Structure 1
């Protein structure tokens, strides 16, 4: 089977991401930039003013102990966010640890998310996953929906379009919900041979990335 150039880049990125997930210790560079999480979270919350869903999501991070305990070393693209997400379904064993946001360099700078039970369902009707971001150095900010995903084994993430946040330290938080699926025997209840579940994020995944 022929694989497109984009799919090959995606597969390479997935390998890099998986390696980063296992090996990442918070030290992305010899002299990593340091993050003031309390100030960064407050700045991101201020930047989302006017978007009720984003404001509500980021407010859950304000004063949370997990923010204070997170590594203060900024990451580089293709590394998971320092603060993972929690959801009502977790990784399939009940509420709790769910997954992580991340930044990617696939045909440009993108944000992504991976995690949850099973795989990401190709149909996301009734769910919406967003990322709010702010470049602390140049003041650029935005809210982007994560919509790009290919229904192939190699694609373990869902991503935003390519954006241009500019150079500097970027803080971001992924929030919302996402459909997952995994194979089960075909039945009246599961005519397509899949079980579906929607993960609703209860604690956004937050990260600081040095672009």
Structure 2
């Protein structure tokens, strides 16, 4: 139980740290927040996923969940997606809420993810976290790998490269798997002093962002 509480505290600290660091640049764009036709948005994202089996499966799970029903406005860069991800490990205490996609606009427009138990492991061998996005304003779309992460306490996100989405309303879903780790006593089972756990998203984090 103590380990679970510690994991929850680490996850909460990571999420809070991500928002504290990343929301600093979001307030100037507050006038760009607009209403979204969520049903149309998720269908456009499903069309963009065609030909990519993993993306199609992820968006289909999102559609089946109906979680966007009742949502209102878009988010702004440096705010988390409106719908958090669900995974098989949740935040470390069993399946459930896992974390959230996020749009960043500091050194260029990027998509990212934060959440899960502990922190993001610097070694992501065997895991693959991706984001599929569609720009409702210009029809551009792509699937991007989330792979950029610095192994320092203040970096609580894993991010895409800088994206050329063009301006406008962008809908996106983050799906896949991600390794997490947290400190434990050094032992034969944990020679580097870390416990590792792989999280696999069941329902992707989904949101609409005005770039």
TM-score (norm 2): 0.86
Provide the residue aligned with 1:161 in structure 2: 161
Q: Does 1:128 align with 2:133?
A: no
Structure 1 119/194 Cα, relative in aligned 2: closer, same or farther at 3 Å?
same
Shift of 1:48: 1.1
Equivalent-residue separation in structure 2 for 1:39 and 1:65 (angstroms): 13
Query: Equivalent residue of 1:170, what SS?
Result: strand
Whether the aligned pair in 1 keeps the contact of 2:18 and 2:114 (CA below 8 Å) is no
Could you say which residue in structure 1 is the equivalent of 2:5? none
Per-residue CA deviations over 1:168-195 (Å, capped at 9, x if unaligned) read: 0000000000000000011111111100
Alpha-carbon distance, 1:115 to partner:
0.2
Contact residue 81 and residue 206 of structure 2 kept, 8 A: yes
Shift of 1:93: 1.0
* Equivalent position of 1:39 in the other structure: 40
Which structure 2 segments of 5+ residues have no match? 1-16
Q: Distance in 2 between matches of 1:95 and 1:31?
A: 35
Give the SS at the match of 1:68. Answer: coil
The corresponding residue for 1:72 is 72
Whose helix fraction is larger, Structure 1's or Structure 2's? 2
Corresponding residue for residue 22 of structure 2: 17
User: How far apart, CA to CA, are the structure 1 residues paired with 2:139 and 2:152?
Assistant: 37
User: TM-score under structure 1 normalisation?
Assistant: 0.86
> Where has structure 1 moved over 6 Å in runs of 4 or more?
none
Judged with a 3 Å threshold, the aligned counterparts in structure 2 of structure 1 residues 151 and 171 are, in CA distance, closer, same or farther, namely same
Q: Distance in 1 between matches of 2:23 and 2:183?
A: 23
Q: Are the counterparts in 2 of residues 17 and 80 from structure 1 also a CA contact under 8 Å? A: no
Distance 1:191 1:163 in 2: 38
Shift of 1:36: 1.4
User: Would you say the 8 A contact 1:38–1:62 is kept in 2?
Assistant: no
When structure 1 is superposed on structure 2, of 36-45 and 127-136 the one drifting more is 36-45
